[in-house]
Structure 1
């Protein structure tokens, strides 16, 4: 009598795997934060590849790095006692030599020490004044472009009023009314150099606001602050960054101009202050070229470095300029 074997029960199939984040090379699941870091690294690598293709931009970046290193190392390169007008180590108006590579001033101080120490104040004023100007201009430009209407009209009329006024004359007026200090110079430059940034940012904001995803964000309940901070600001930042590098050069030149006119802080050493001291000491009529040339050349080189960096950044961040080159 034959016996029938029981039928084998089929093994349960594994449940299909739900789609999830992309697996990493080692089988581990990549988190959204890790994917964001990878995207940022790729974007930075692509940015550096495009930037280093611009030789002028590399030259400007190298010059800028040199000036920043000199400013940071100034406390170790120059003794504060050597900058004193009463305890100067050298003789007045000594020409360049091994002991004094750039000669001495009318007090016997080394001009090289003055240029090195003056880079701290000039670069500090340039960076901080640009920060104030760019922040104010970007804020007004985004608000005017986002809200429009009466708010945008009033803000743009105020911008136009500042734009038609001579920037240097307005800065001189502010520096004359306020106390003579580095903070006054920063404030005078910052509150007079923002209209150009505001105009550019407003135009870019209007272009961003016309894109479909802005309407989608509004339909999903996004408020004004959310749209301006999460959608508009990231799209105008490349323009703001390029404008910043260009404004630093203008701020340094304006600080030197105000110091040359005697409106700077007399207790600090800056490149414009050195030029003003050289003019008051009669270096032009006396033929003491080494007292005038180094600070003026430093101003020109640092302005050129920032301008080259700004043009290179503008070419990398602006697709139209990048395609045209």
Structure 2
């Protein structure tokens, strides 16, 4: 019985992948993400992190792109290419970690509210609506201001303020799943809450959660860049947001150092677009109505 279940799951995964590859936008986004992730992982192996230290800058201040420094140098003489390369690691790390926290909270709240109902559902939805009404970025700025600066603070600030939309989405999907006959059969046969949620509800909800995760990562990366640009990030770490802040503070525009502004800005745009393309493609694949199936 178990082997049959796994065979069906493998067949479903294969079918999903074949459908996904037909979406050129999603496939292009996946390729871009793969390249960026591989480069970020290879940074410690193929580059020297000492170049990030302002006391060991190898170039002149505001040096334009050249054969020696492909992306030019910043106000301290550091390579902008090196800063952008290492900055991708922090931006991706914070974006992915904050998204996992946000989606985990939203999924837990949404499934609990839909499954148990009653006063518990009312209370959880009241809290969810509260977080939906208040701008998540404002709440993240408030948390980042009162807590010690660091990567953990940014992850916490983004994660605990951006879960509400996921909670409502998961709650709606859970209510739809629990209205189906097989859930009633499971309960009649003696299935408890853990069995119903773990064996029936979550497998049906997780595809939607996965799609929402890819879309949430893009928002988390933008939020991290915004917080770092406002000076609420980790001052000891280089990220795309902190590079944009440094360019603004040290007059990159007045120095006409466009090479210090474009790489981190384009990095944020490209990675957000890639995650959005992948998320939309997955949404189309996993939702038959969106791909025109009848």
Fold equivalence (TM over 0.5): yes
For residues 4-49 of structure 1, the C-alpha deviation after alignment (integer angstroms, 9 at most, x for no partner) is xxxxxxxxxxxxxxxxxxxxxxxxxxxx343333223211211111
Q: Secondary structure at the match of 1:44?
A: helix
Hey, what does 1:81 align to over in structure 2? Answer: 50
| Equivalent position to 2:124, from 111, 136, 155 | 155
**1:297, 1:324 → 2: CA distance?**
37
**1:155, 1:185 → 2: CA distance?**
24
Hey, what does 1:296 align to over in structure 2? Answer: 265
Q: Secondary structure at the match of 1:284?
A: coil
| Equivalent position to 1:120, from 89, 105, 118 | 89
For residues 146-183 of structure 1, the C-alpha deviation after alignment (integer angstroms, 9 at most, x for no partner) is 11111101100100000000111100000001000000
Conserved? CA contact 1:93–1:104, under 8 Å? yes
| Equivalent position to 2:6, from 7, 28, 37 | 37
Which segments of structure 1 move beyond 3 Å, counting only runs of 4 or more? none
Alignment of 1:210-229 (within 5 A): 210-229=179-198
Hey, what does 1:206 align to over in structure 2? Answer: 175
Confirm whether residue 280 of structure 1 aligns to residue 271 of structure 2.
no
Conserved? CA contact 1:78–1:117, under 8 Å? no
| Equivalent position to 1:264, from 233, 248, 264 | 233
Hey, what does 1:6 align to over in structure 2? Answer: none
Hey, what does 1:305 align to over in structure 2? Answer: 274
For residues 111-160 of structure 1, the C-alpha deviation after alignment (integer angstroms, 9 at most, x for no partner) is 00000001111000011000000000000000000111111011001000
**1:249, 1:269 → 2: CA distance?**
19
**2:235, 2:195 → 1: CA distance?**
46
Alignment of 1:164-175 (within 5 A): 164-175=133-144
Query: Which region of structure 1 is more displaced relative to structure 2, 178-187 or 43-52?
Result: 43-52
| Equivalent position to 2:160, from 185, 191, 211 | 191
Alignment of 1:41-56 (within 5 A): 41-56=10-25
For the aligned residue pairs, the C-alpha RMSD in angstroms reads 1.1
Structure 2: where are the runs of 5+ without partners? none
Hey, what does 2:204 align to over in structure 1? Answer: 235
Confirm whether residue 95 of structure 1 aligns to residue 30 of structure 2.
no
Q: Secondary structure at the match of 1:287?
A: coil
Count, aligned residues: 294
For residues 235-279 of structure 1, the C-alpha deviation after alignment (integer angstroms, 9 at most, x for no partner) is 110110000000000000100000000000000011101111111
Hey, what does 1:109 align to over in structure 2? Answer: 78
User: Which has the greater radius of gyration?
Assistant: 1
**1:73, 1:324 → 2: CA distance?**
42
Structure 1: where are the runs of 5+ without partners? 1-31
Task: Flag the structure with higher helix content.
Answer: 2
Q: Secondary structure at the match of 1:107?
A: coil
